[in-house]
């Protein structure tokens, strides 16, 4: 049964960091949470993945990040995985069985993923599995084109702007909830006759 993966990341941030593209000294986009869903071609959830990650350069979370995501310092210190372990586990999920094809995000999360893989390797840490297979793709341009009301919405609000029921417990800026929001949007569009183009499912 062919499947594909949707994923979302939460990463370190500070007041004004997004507007400045994380350009201030020391403001790296270190992953703190990974969420992912494996979906069937009918958009049914086959499997879930979720992990907390301990940042290395900025191990102390900013109050802005905690207010935004609800992820607190104690939880990350207690439950967070080392970056190399989390990244390897996530890549294994992407390449797991049933065999995955594309790995899709609503935005350029694959860029942040690549940054974090590069930093881990620069520290001498081993990243298991290949980040180039299967292919990572940003579906936001396509989704915003076929559903223009989503253009200003982040991933966790897609269900709201499309008038859909809450797709899962939780709220936006929780990586797994945001994945469920994306999946709900895709199911809704497919039900109206607008399915993901075959070219996006490599």
User: What is the second-level CATH architecture of the domain 3-200?
Assistant: 2-Layer Sandwich (3.30)
pLDDT of 160 strictly over 90? yes
Mean pLDDT of 187-197: 91
pLDDT of 163 strictly over 80? yes
- For 47-74, write each residue's pLDDT tens digit: 999 999 999 999 999 999 999 999 999 9
Residue boundaries of the structural domains of the chain: 3-200
CB 10 within 8 A of CB 173: yes
Mean pLDDT of 176-180: 98
CA dist., res. 116 & res. 78, Å (int): 21
pLDDT of 131 strictly over 90? no
Helix (H) / strand (E) element for 49: namely strand 45-52
- Per DSSP, the chain holds a count of helices (H) and strands (E) of 7, 5
Instruction: Write down the pLDDT at residue 130.
Output: 73
The predicted model scores a pTM of: 0.94
Instruction: Write down the pLDDT at residue 127.
Output: 92
pLDDT of 34 strictly over 60? yes
Mean pLDDT of 151-172: 96
Q: Which residues, 6 or more positions from 19, have their beta carbon under 8 angstroms from its beta carbon?
A: none
Please report, for residues 7, 18, 77, 165, the alpha-carbon distance to residue 186 in angstroms, rounded to integers and kept in the order given. Answer: 13, 26, 35, 13
Helices (H), the chain: 63-69, 73-79, 83-94, 109-122, 140-146, 158-161, 175-191
| Packing angle, helices 83-94 and 109-122, rounded to 10 | 130
CA dist., res. 102 & res. 115, Å (int): 20
**Token representation of residue 181:** 């929001």
- For 10-29, write each residue's pLDDT tens digit: 999 999 999 998 999 989 99
Mean pLDDT of 157-178: 96
pLDDT of 101 strictly over 90? no
Q: Which residues, 6 or more positions from 146, have their beta carbon under 8 angstroms from its beta carbon?
A: 189, 194
Instruction: Write down the pLDDT at residue 196.
Output: 84
């Amino acid at each position: 049964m062919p499947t594909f993966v949707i994923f979302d990341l939460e990463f370190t941030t500070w007041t004004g960091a997004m507007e400045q593209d994380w350009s201030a000294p020391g403001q790296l986009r270190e992953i703190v949470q990974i969420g992912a869903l494996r979906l069937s071609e009918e958009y049914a959830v086959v499997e879930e993945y979720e992990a907390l990650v301990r940042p290395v350069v900025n191990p102390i979370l900013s109050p802005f990040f905690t207010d935004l995501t609800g992820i607190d310092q104690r939880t990350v210190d207690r439950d967070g995985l080392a970056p190399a372990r989390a990244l390897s586990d996530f890549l294994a999920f992407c390449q797991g069985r049933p065999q995955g094809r594309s790995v899709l995000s609503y935005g350029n999360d694959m860029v942040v993923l690549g940054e974090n893989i590069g930093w881990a390797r620069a520290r001498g840490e081993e990243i298991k599995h290949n980040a180039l297979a299967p292919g990572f793709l940003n579906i936001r341009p396509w989704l915003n084109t076929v559903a223009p009301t989503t253009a200003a919405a982040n991933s966790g609000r897609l269900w709201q702007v499309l008038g859909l029921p809450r797709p899962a417990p939780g709220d936006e800026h929780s990586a797994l909830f945001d994945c469920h929001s994306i999946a709900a949007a895709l199911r809704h569009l497919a039900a109206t006759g607008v399915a993901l183009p075959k070219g996006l499912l490599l």
